[in-house]
C-alpha cells in the first residue's frame, strides 16, 4: 500500500519516548508498504537524521516549526476566543497545510496515518484515503494529571485545568472522525471512550527493537541510581523534584554510599544547582551516549506522579536488563508485575525502601534483570507488537 505518515516530531534519532514509538512504527510499516513521511522539524534536527529516514521511506518531506513565548501567548488568546485547545492551536501551521495540499495534488494514498493527536487535523482533508489516528496517550488525562500535580502558585496549573477539559471534547471528536484509532494501553482506550470515542479502538503497545536495545552487562562501582528522561518535560521535572526532596534523603539513610545520576536534556537550573550541595548527585544534561552511565548503574528510577500512555524509558530499561523502581503511574499500561520484573512504590517511604532493596539485594537485582529482558522480548519487540496494524490497514 501507499502510506502517508504524518508526525509532529522527526522520528529519528529515537532518543525520546515519542520518537522511539514513532520510529518503530515507521520501521514496521516501511518493511511492508511504500511510506511517505511528512514531519515537522526543529533547528536541532540534522540533515543526516533526514538522510537516515530516507533509507526507510519512499519520500521524506519536512516542514520547519518554531515555538516562542510570544507565539504561545497569541495562540492562548486565540484559544480564549475560539474555545479550542491551546495545545492543538500551537501546532496549527499553514506551512504544513500547504505542503500536504501540494502532495495530495500529485499522489493518492491508500492510508493516511496521523501520529499523535496534534497531527489529526492534517489528515482529515484526505477524504479518499483510509485514516488512522495513532495516539501515544489519552492527552486529556495527561494534562489533567499534570494540572493536579502543579502547586497553586504556578500559573500553568490554571491553563492546564482549562485545557484538559477542552482537550477531552476535542480528542473524543477527533477519534470519531477517523476510520481507525489506536491506543497504547487499555487504560488509555477507556479514557478515550470516556471522551466520546467509539469502542473499537485497537490497543497496540509502544514497541522497541530488542536487537538494538541490547542487554547491558553492568558492574557498578558501588550503589548507583540512574534516571533517564528529558528534563524539560513538566511531568519529569515534577517527578525528579519529588524524588530529590522526599525520597533520596531516605535512601541515603539506608544506603549511605549511594550515588545518583540524572541524565536528560535541558534540566532546570534549580535541579542543576543541587550538585553544588550534594556530592553524591550528578546532573549530566543531554549525553550522546548514556551507555557508560548505564554500565555503572545498579538500578533505574521512574518517579512519575503524572503521565499518560506508556513510558518508553521503562521498555528500554526492560530490554537492557536494568532493574527499576517505578510509581504506579510510571508503569501504567505496561504488562509488568511487582517483585517479578519491576518494583512499584507510590509513597516516598516505600519508594525509598524498594530502592534500598534493589541496591543491597544482589539476588533480587539479578532476578529483575533477567525477567525484565524476557518481558521485553516476548511482549514489546516491534516485530510482534505492531502486527495489529496489518489488520487495521486491510
Between these two residues, 288 and 109, which has the higher pLDDT value?
Answer: 109
* Residues 246-284: tens digit of each pLDDT: 999 999 999 999 999 999 999 999 999 999 999 999 999
CATH number assigned to the domain covering 224-379: 3.40.50.2000
- The yes-or-no verdict on residue 307 having pLDDT over 80 is no
- What are the residue boundaries of the structural domains of the chain, listed by start? 2-207+382-393, 224-379
d(CA 335, CA 329): 13
CA distances for 365 relative to 152, 232, 372, angstroms: 39, 30, 11
CATH classification of 2-207+382-393 is 3.40.50.720, yes or no? no
- pLDDT (0 to 100) of residue 309: 64
First and final C-alpha spacing in the chain = 9
Topology match between the domains 2-207+382-393 and 224-379: yes
Whether the link from the prior residue into 256 is cis, omega within 30° of 0, is: no
State the pLDDT confidence band at 16, using cuts at 50, 70 and 90.
confident
CA dihedral 160, 162, 168, 174 (to 10 degrees): -90
Question: What is the Cα 230 distance to its own chain's centre?
Answer: 10
Closest CA to 207 of 366, 12, 14: 14
For residue 36, what are the β-bridge partners? 4, 59
Long-range contacts of 273-280 (CB under 8 A, 24+ apart): 274/244, 280/252
Closest CA to 381 of 235, 137, 214: 214
> What residues have CB less than 8 Å from 272, skipping those under 6 apart?
283, 285
On whether the CB atoms of residues 181 and 203 are closer than 8 A, the answer is no
pTM summary value: 0.79
Between these two residues, 69 and 119, which has the higher pLDDT value?
Answer: 119
Amino acid at each position: 500500500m501507499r502510506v502517508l505518515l504524518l508526525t509532529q516530531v522527526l522520528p529519528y534519532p529515537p532518543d525520546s519516548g515519542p520518537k522511539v514509538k514513532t520510529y518503530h512504527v515507521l520501521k514496521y510499516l516501511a518493511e511492508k508498504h511504500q511510506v511517505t513521511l511528512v514531519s515537522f522539524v526543529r533547528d536541532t534536527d540534522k540533515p543526516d537524521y533526514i538522510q537516515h529516514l530516507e533509507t526507510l521511506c519512499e519520500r521524506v518531506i519536512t516542514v520547519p516549526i518554531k515555538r516562542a513565548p510570544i507565539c504561545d501567548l497569541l495562540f492562548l488568546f486565540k484559544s480564549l476566543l475560539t474555545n479550542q485547545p491551546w495545545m492543538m492551536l500551537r501546532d496549527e501551521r499553514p506551512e504544513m497545510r500547504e505542503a500536504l495540499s501540494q502532495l495530495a495534488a500529485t499522489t493518492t494514498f491508500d492510508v493516511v496515518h496521523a501520529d499523535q493527536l496534534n497531527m489529526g487535523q492534517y489528515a482529515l482533508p484526505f477524504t479518499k484515503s483510509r485514516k488512522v489516528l495513532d495516539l501515544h496517550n489519552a492527552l486529556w488525562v495527561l494534562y489533567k494529571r499534570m494540572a493536579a500535580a502543579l502547586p497553586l502558585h504556578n500559573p500553568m496549573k490554571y491553563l492546564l485545568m482549562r485545557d484538559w477539559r477542552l482537550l477531552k471534547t476535542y480528542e473524543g471528536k477527533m477519534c470519531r472522525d477517523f476510520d481507525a484509532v489506536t491506543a497504547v494501553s487499555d487504560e488509555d482506550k477507556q479514557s478515550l471512550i470516556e471522551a466520546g470515542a467509539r469502542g473499537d479502538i485497537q490497543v497496540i503497545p509502544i514497541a522497541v527493537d530488542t536487537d538494538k536495545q541490547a542487554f547491558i552487562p553492568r558492574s557498578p562501582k558501588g550503589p548507583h541510581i540512574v534516571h533517564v528522561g528529558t528534563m524539560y518535560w513538566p511531568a519529569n521535572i515534577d517527578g525528579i523534584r519529588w524524588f530529590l526532596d522526599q525520597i533520596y534523603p531516605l535512601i541515603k539513610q539506608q544506603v549511605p554510599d549511594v550515588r545518583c545520576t540524572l541524565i536528560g536534556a535541558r534540566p532546570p537550573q534549580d535541579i542543576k544547582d543541587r550538585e553544588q550541595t550534594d556530592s553524591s548527585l550528578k546532573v549530566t544534561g543531554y549525553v550522546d551516549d548514556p551507555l557508560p552511565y548505564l554500565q555503572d548503574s545498579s538500578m533505574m528510577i521512574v518517579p512519575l506522579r503524572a503521565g499518560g500512555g506508556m513510558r518508553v524509558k521503562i521498555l528500554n530499561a526492560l530490554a537492557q536488563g536494568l532493574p527499576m523502581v517505578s510509581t504506579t503511574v510510571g508503569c501504567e499500561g505496561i504488562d509488568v508485575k511487582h517483585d517479578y520484573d519491576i518494583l512499584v512504590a507510590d509513597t516516598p517511604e516505600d519508594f525509598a525502601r524498594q530502592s534500598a532493596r534493589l541496591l543491597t539485594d544482589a539476588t533480587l537485582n539479578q532476578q529483575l534483570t533477567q525477567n525484565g529482558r524476557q518481558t521485553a522480548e516476548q511482549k514489546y519487540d516491534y516485530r510482534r507488537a505492531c502486527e495489529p496494524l496489518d489488520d487495521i490497514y486491510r
